Structure 1
């Protein structure tokens, strides 16, 4: 278990939830070039740093869960699951908005869906919080790269949730996400799980990152700038490959 633990990564990510959406230059349509660049950077981290690491961890998975066929690719199944879960949530939000628009004339999702959506992201944040604690065992470079990538990813998520829920997210949602993040990190003091579980959790997070970034870039009404997204990918990829 980790003996010397730094709290700064958790504070950085909590700061994003507290103050990220207050930075007005990130908001508006056309989509902020900074948001697109942040999304590109976090996706670059997943493909060039996280997935290669998970590929190495697949050996632990195969020893823990021996199997044939698709069961021998647990890492990629979990990444696919993460992508699928968050795609389902986003689809539910969009459908709920359309239904409320037709029935009540207001283009907002139902309150119940807000709590389901926030609960899902709270679990997601708790997993990331625990991974932050786990990352303390490795080189400082890994911890810094992971924290920066997640900070950029959190900014993208926060503006997406603000777009859906407005005051509900500002008043309730962000606080719950901060508590979940700190709670997940704190669990590291109490529970030590196997490397196999860590790899599976990282896989799920990787799939979630990819979906949550792309869903914010693709809608036509966002008028996102591809060049900014690509610049974020290239810049962070160069950084990752040079270290």
Structure 2
């Protein structure tokens, strides 16, 4: 049952990646209230599900690891979340600086090298999300469903941001690679299983990345984001997760 449900959700993730281009009702500027709502949903999931889970991982692993490096991470797993946030912030700055250098070119966009670095990082990011669909500790089918909703709407936000940055390169190459990476991560999850410390690192990294990727879309003034819509998504999804 879990396999088939995860398969349905993976197909859903891929479909969202490939079809988000056709969601014309979602505007980047001024920012659609829908995007602000789904930003709140993703952040709520990170802080009410993924972050508390990291605390549980630390408790379970306490004293179980002998290696000095792993032992250090055992007690400071939130540093990985911070690193994930910093990495995606750096990648975003790299893309913006490259785009600014090419501002006088027709249809200004980052260089090809920056495009592939950016897409490569999100390939890893998406693969982790696909992998966790198999190995995340969900509270039954509803738990997996809430994960699918939170990550699915997050993919829509990422698609909009990456398309705005890289333009036709994203539609021609990026979205197909990212859709495939979700399936690849899920497939790896079916065939392999890592220990708890590695799993906690993956969860921490993706948590930091999600927070940064949501807030970078919400905060810029030119986005004209809706704080009320963001709070509505955050509050509503938080209540659903707490009830779960």
What TM-score results when the alignment is normalised by the length of structure 1?
A: 0.92
Change (3 A) 1:100 1:3: closer
User: Mapping of 1:62-141 within 5 angstroms?
Assistant: 62=62, 63-64=64-65, 71-101=73-103, 104=105, 107-135=108-136, 139-141=140-142
* Cα contact 1:31–1:225 (8 A) shared by 2: yes
Change (3 A) 1:121 1:4: closer
Report the alpha carbon displacement of residue 99 of structure 1 after superposing the two structures with TM.
1.3
Report the alpha carbon displacement of residue 21 of structure 1 after superposing the two structures with TM.
2.4
Q: Which runs of 5+ in 1 are unaligned?
A: none
Q: Let me know the Cα RMSD of the aligned residues.
A: 2.2
Change (3 A) 1:65 1:127: farther
* Cα contact 1:74–1:200 (8 A) shared by 2: no
- Name the SS for the 1:101 alignment partner: coil
* Cα contact 1:42–1:209 (8 A) shared by 2: yes
| Residue 32 in structure 1 maps to residue 18 in structure 2 | no
Change (3 A) 1:231 1:66: farther
* Cα contact 1:40–1:231 (8 A) shared by 2: yes
Q: Which runs of 5+ in 2 are unaligned?
A: none
Report the alpha carbon displacement of residue 137 of structure 1 after superposing the two structures with TM.
7.2
User: Mapping of 1:141-220 within 5 angstroms?
Assistant: 141-220=142-221
CA distance in 2, matches of 1:4, 1:166: 36
- Name the SS for the 1:25 alignment partner: coil
Change (3 A) 1:95 1:4: closer
Report the alpha carbon displacement of residue 32 of structure 1 after superposing the two structures with TM.
0.2
CA distance in 2, matches of 1:114, 1:133: 29
| Residue 12 in structure 1 maps to residue 12 in structure 2 | yes
Report the alpha carbon displacement of residue 238 of structure 1 after superposing the two structures with TM.
1.1
* Cα contact 1:40–1:233 (8 A) shared by 2: yes
Report the alpha carbon displacement of residue 67 of structure 1 after superposing the two structures with TM.
5.9
What TM-score results when the alignment is normalised by the length of structure 2?
A: 0.91
- Name the SS for the 2:94 alignment partner: helix
CA distance in 2, matches of 1:134, 1:59: 19
Change (3 A) 1:136 1:203: closer
Report the number of matched residues: 241
